[in-house]
Amino acid sequence: MRNWAKLAALVALFGSVYGHQQHPLGDFQEEPETWLSKYGPQIDQPFSGPLAFSHLDYKRCLEDVSAEFDIAVLGLPFDTGTSYRPGARFGPYAIRSGSRRQREARGYSLAWGNNPYEQGSKILDCGDVPIIPFDNALAMDQMEVAYSTLLARPIASNTSVWQQGAALAKDGREHPRIVSLGGDHTIVLPILRALNKVYGPVSVIHFDAHLDTWGGYPGTVTEQSRITHGTFFYIANEEGLVANSSIHAGIRCKLQGLGDIENDASVGFHFITSDDIDDHGVPAIIERIRKRVGDTPVYLSLDIDVIDPGLAPATGTPEAGGWTSREVKRIIRGLAGLNFVGADIVEVAPAYDHAEITGTAAADIVHDFLSMFMSQEPPKPTSLPGMWPRDEL
């Protein structure tokens, strides 16, 4: 008996030290603590989670007819219309990756005086159009059909989120607006074709180093080969998609001669050169753009190469002497309140990037687009404690 007592004592001691004491059947077993009870919801860090723009809700909107939105972010990974360096098919990925530090909860901007995600509009990342990379004629149709599909959806909000939207549309109802992530600049042709069905010809504000109104390239022998990232506006003019109140901003490309400028005017564009920002300043550029497009329906298309390649190197046709990202952002703020029917950012080709500086800049400009859509007028200068007094500016 003495030995059995010693053995029982040793077993009890062992169990208390290593936590393996047995419990009679029927005793309560404490459940292990869960992540949710201890740490709360499974939030995404800036560097983690699914790759959606600014960690927005993500839906495959082209197939999910239940997906509701007032503004959609849509990727168009197409780059087989380029004339120099391809790679912009990876642009939507690069822009979304550049947006990882952005999110709804920290979306307020002093420059805009708002958080676009808190203005009553439902913003949704609708993923990428599955564009065929082997047949450009088919790809053009896929992009047009995809854009038209989203444009035809009812808006998510019960009340109007865009005062002039219904008045501008042919059918008298308000349509969603789409921010497109390119892709090379050719994507604008199918977009304009889709918009034309709803709004008719639109004025285009075109930020770019290049005119993109050329009639064709040497070697063009088929109708489809006419359509490239440097000719799409010429084709759009032929099809009656562009109003004669459009304007380029940031032009600095080489030309064949002054005939290119005469051709550009015939397509419906005026232009602002990159040097004009030194001679006239940002406010004058804003005023000229606003006066040119007036109260017409407006589409904004921004080629990332409008920014100097020292600040945005990841693009297919870099041109030295461009604007800074800060200057571009200030001009965009000055355009708020125009009748924007949509916008895009194109020609981001991340294979030529380093430190993600181009993708980050592009993502920040998309954030500006969202604030621009939400604003009825350019933001007023902010005056807060600790800021530079406004009367000294």
Q: What is the pLDDT of residue 22?
A: 55
210 is in an annotated binding site: yes
- Which pLDDT score, from 0 to 100, does residue 390 have? 66
Distance from C-alpha of 73 to C-alpha of 294, rounded to nearest angstrom: 26
185 belongs to an annotated ligand binding site: yes
Instruction: Tell whether residue 278 is among the known ligand binding residues.
Output: no
Q: How many domains does the chain have?
A: 1
DSSP state of 90: G
pTM attached to this predicted model: 0.89
Q: Is the residue at 174 inside a domain?
A: yes
Residue 160 domain-assigned?
yes
> Where would I find the H helices in the chain?
2-18, 35-39, 91-98, 136-151, 165-168, 188-199, 232-238, 259-267, 276-280, 282-293, 325-334, 357-374
Summarised one tens digit per residue, pLDDT across range 158-210 is 888 887 899 999 999 999 999 999 999 999 999 999 999 999 999 999 999 99
In a domain, 303, yes or no: yes
Please count the other Cβ atoms lying within 10 Å of the Cβ belonging to residue 101. 13
Least trusted range by pLDDT, from 15-19, 44-48, 128-132, 299-303: 15-19
Which of the pair, 192 or 11, is modelled with greater confidence? 192
Domain presence at residue 101: yes
As a dihedral over the C-alpha atoms of residue 366, residue 372, residue 373, residue 378, rounded to 10 degrees, the angle is 180
Domain with 209 in it: 53-380
> Is residue 212 a part of any domain in this protein?
yes
In a domain, 245, yes or no: yes
CATH number at residue 123: 3.40.800.10
Is 308 within any annotated ligand binding site?
Answer: no
Residue 9 lies in a domain: no
Amino acid letter for position 132: I
Say what the pLDDT of residue 196 is.
Answer: 98
Domain membership of residue 33 (yes or no) is no
208 is in an annotated binding site: yes
